[in-house]
Amino acid sequence: MTGIGFSLVAEDGAARRGLLETAHGAVETPCFMPVGTAATVKGMTPDQVAATGAQMVLANTYHLMLRPGNARVARLGGLHRFMGWPGPILTDSGGFQVMSLDELATVTDHGVVFRSHIDGSRHELTPERAVEVQHNLDSNIAMVLDECTRYPVSRDRAADAMRRSMLWARRCKAAFRSRDGYGLFGIVQGGVEPDLRAESAAELQAIGFDGYAVGGLAVGEGADQMFRVLDVTVPLLPADRPRYLMGVGKPSDLVNAVARGIDMFDCVLPTRSGRTGQAFTRGGAVNIRNARYAEDPRPLDDSLDCPASCDYSRAYLHHLVRSGEILGAVLLTWHNLAYYQRLMSDMRTAIAEGRFASFAAAFAEAQAAGDIEPV
């Protein structure tokens, strides 16, 4: 197998069920990748993450190149061995983090010069360097370096960033060292402009990648605008390659994006929410800090095969979070990851059985009817 393998198992409307094959195992899609930015899914052991049903995790080039350093990770046997995760790993290229953590970063066609958020040291990230770092980390799926703009952005600025990203994509492809079970994904940019998204999608396909990501969304444009961009972008992407929506999102976003043909997701929301007292359930989001849960004996969700979801009362979780106990953050994170993986599994089943539309409708109804606070 040269690169990574991808095959469609079932389709139901635009929704797809597939199988992604890498050197470190296969991943059923649609899939959600828990975010392990610094080679750890915060508060969770790799075994716990795997037990939720997660098949692939995401780590970040920017953070790992700064600390502990990609050369050190390579000397220690690569990211899989370093973090104790034997399954597939995808690494973000670091471009978004550079531009979000250093407002004074200097961007040119050559690359981006930035200051470390850790110690202020100066660094340069070029397309070639981004690919080299990800190779040293031994990630199964590497991402091209791209320039991501925040919403709102002028059309001229969006076009400039998109075309620079396409220049960088070509250089990333040239620098990438092909290996069996490893792949490189291109990233579609272009703000909320349909013609710029179309231009970007066409350019990336002319270069040729193992998969195609939609980037530059969930940056302030709102869900309606995001879905409009997906409506015009996803149909332009190859049907025989995986499609990845970066940095999204809420459970309802996942369902609506799968309905539009997206296969892969990542987001910090389930883990970050777990650390701030929010849990996701079939009836919506629970803010466990609220006084209404102080004497609530119910578990978060006893339909989930996860100890955090069914073995502890909401009252106990309320106590832990209000007391600032570390266990509260751990249990809510564990539950949220299990909930997200169950949602993805349920969507895969619905697609295979040809009932995704009814599943999506029932999901929306349950979220709207729940007695839980909306996100």
Per-residue model confidence as pLDDT tens digits over 192-206: 999 999 999 999 999
Instruction: Determine the Cα–Cα distance for residues 134 and 150; give it in Å rounded to an integer.
Output: 25
DSSP 201-222: HHHHHHH--SEEEE-S-SSSS-
- Percent of the chain predicted with pLDDT > 70: 98
In total, the chain counts a number of residues equal to 375
Q: Give backbone dihedrals phi and psi of 154, rounded to 5 degrees, phi first.
A: -70, 155
- Cis omega (within 30 of 0) for bond into 194: no
Instruction: Determine the Cα–Cα distance for residues 133 and 144; give it in Å rounded to an integer.
Output: 11
- Give the pLDDT score at 370: 67
The answer to whether residue 270 scores a pLDDT higher than 50 is yes
pLDDT band at residue 349, thresholds of 50, 70 and 90? very high
Contact 27, 58 (CB under 8 A): no
The answer to whether residue 1 scores a pLDDT higher than 60 is no
Residue 302 falls in the annotated catalytic set: no
Q: Which domains does the chain have, with CATH numbers?
A: 29-266 (3.20.20.105), 274-360 (no CATH)
Mean pLDDT, rounded, for 123-139? 97
The answer to whether residue 371 scores a pLDDT higher than 60 is no
- Give the pLDDT score at 375: 35
pLDDT band at residue 103, thresholds of 50, 70 and 90? confident
The per-residue pLDDT for range 4-45, each reduced to its tens digit, is: 999 999 999 999 999 999 999 999 999 999 999 999 999 999
The answer to whether residue 344 scores a pLDDT higher than 60 is yes
The answer to whether residue 336 scores a pLDDT higher than 80 is yes
Model-wide pTM > 0.95: yes
- Given strand 57-60, what is the order of strands in its sheet? 31-33, 264-266, 243-245, 211-214, 183-188, 141-143, 89-92, 57-60
Contact 241, 183 (CB under 8 A): no
Instruction: Determine the Cα–Cα distance for residues 147 and 160; give it in Å rounded to an integer.
Output: 9
The answer to whether residue 373 scores a pLDDT higher than 50 is no
User: Catalytic one among 12, 138, 146, 266?
Assistant: 266
Residue identified by tokens 């992604």 is 20
User: Catalytic one among 12, 92, 102, 210?
Assistant: 92
Comparing C-alpha atoms, which of 28, 61, 94, 54 is closest to residue 242? 28
- Give the pLDDT score at 95: 84
Mean pLDDT, rounded, for 218-241? 97
Mean pLDDT, rounded, for 248-258? 96
- With 0-12 CB in 10 A as exposed, 13-18 as middle and 19+ as buried, what is 236? middle
Mean pLDDT, rounded, for 60-70? 96
Residue 92 falls in the annotated catalytic set: yes
- Percent of the chain predicted with pLDDT > 90: 93
Hey, what amino acid is at 113?
A: V
The answer to whether residue 374 scores a pLDDT higher than 80 is no
